[in-house]
A and B are shown apart, each in its own frame.
Chain A
Amino acid sequence: EVHVVEAGGGFVQPGGSLKLSCAASGFTFSASAMHWVRQASGKGLEWVGRIRDKANSYATGYGASVKGRFTISRDDSKNTAYLQMDSLKTEDTAVYYCVNIYPSGYWGQGTLVTVSS
């Protein structure tokens, strides 16, 4: 059975940092790309970024609104992906989902990040 579980959300002031983690099981994590997607309250889905697998040199890609501020990494020995968020803005407030879009198609339940003074 596949499990994807995010952790690390919380409250942070503008300009601050936060690191989310995503623990996965039930599929070959080390051979899979992992994505981060966010959703502000009442809004649509926004692609945050992804990290590919070792065979693809752990290549990362980011959405325009977070590029240069967010960094995705992974530890295949722990089947865990991470989202380091720096220089946070109030508009980064959202539920953050970790997703293995392919091959499992599974989403985590999300973790809420609130950026406010």
Chain B
Amino acid sequence: QAVVTQEPSLTVSPGGTVTLTCGSSTGAVTSGHYPYWFQQKPGQAPRTLIYETSNKHSWTPARFSGSLLGGKAALTLSGAQPEDEAEYYCLLSYSGTSVFGGGTKLTVL
């Protein structure tokens, strides 16, 4: 089974910009892995932020964007807000299966 890697933790200043990445042990992440990004706050169910690399749901704040960057999937937060402090998970699809990354704990400080 493929291993999906994320930064364990990142810190961003309020109003700052940070990029979270999502890599695959099988090689470069492409649009064919249909990268998804999810946000989870303590005590809550996760919610979907980004689907299929860069598409947003109606509830996704405009300050979040998804892309492919340097062979990885990337989630960029521009203009961080205190309420963005959370755990972020990516999900990649492989032939018939999917795998979550270990999550990135984002601190806004």
Chain A interface (Cβ < 8 Å from any Cβ of B): 35, 37, 44-47, 50, 59, 61-64, 97, 99, 101-102, 105-110
Contact = CB atoms under 8 A, between A and B. Distances in A.
Nearest to B6: A44
Interface of B: 1, 36, 38, 40, 45-48, 51-52, 57, 87, 89, 91, 96-103
23 contacts: A35-B98, A37-B46, A37-B100, A44-B100, A44-B101, A44-B102, A45-B91, A45-B100, A47-B91, A47-B97, A59-B96, A61-B96, A62-B97, A63-B97, A97-B45, A101-B36, A101-B91, A105-B48, A106-B48, A107-B46, A107-B48, A108-B45, A109-B45
B97 A45 contact: no
Contacts of B97: 47, 61-64
A102 B51 contact: yes
A37 B46 CA distance: 10
Nearest to B36: A101
A105 B96 contact: no
Contacts of B40: 45
